[in-house]
Amino acid sequence: RQHGAVSEQTAAAMAEGVRQLLRADVGVSITGVAGPDAEESKPAGLTFIGIATDVSKTHRFQWNGDRWDNRRRSVIAALELLVRALEL
């Protein structure tokens, strides 16, 4: 656990893992601290989204809503990133 559950590295590894497991063209992952409290020195709302195609990319977001809103924003962002990945 060098980087912890909420990190760029974990998001990239999760996205690549699901891509390989499902033998898919694209893998998507979300990891973060939904809130309301911080975890392990990471602020509430911190989110990393991983998109794995031939190359893994991660995206960092810092949401400022409540737990439900942070989760909703993360899903919307992941779907938007997935659409962009599929357009390439």
Please name the residues in contact with 31: beta carbons below 8 A apart, sequence gap of 6 or more: 5, 6, 7, 10, 11, 14, 47, 48, 50
Query: What are 21-76's pLDDT values in tens digits?
Result: 999 999 999 999 999 889 888 999 999 999 999 989 999 999 999 999 999 999 99
**How far is 19 from 25, CA to CA, in rounded Å?**
7
Domain boundaries along the sequence of the chain: 8-87
Query: What are 7-34's pLDDT values in tens digits?
Result: 999 999 999 999 999 999 999 999 999 9
pTM: 0.93
CATH number of 8-87: 3.90.950.20
pLDDT of residue 14: 97
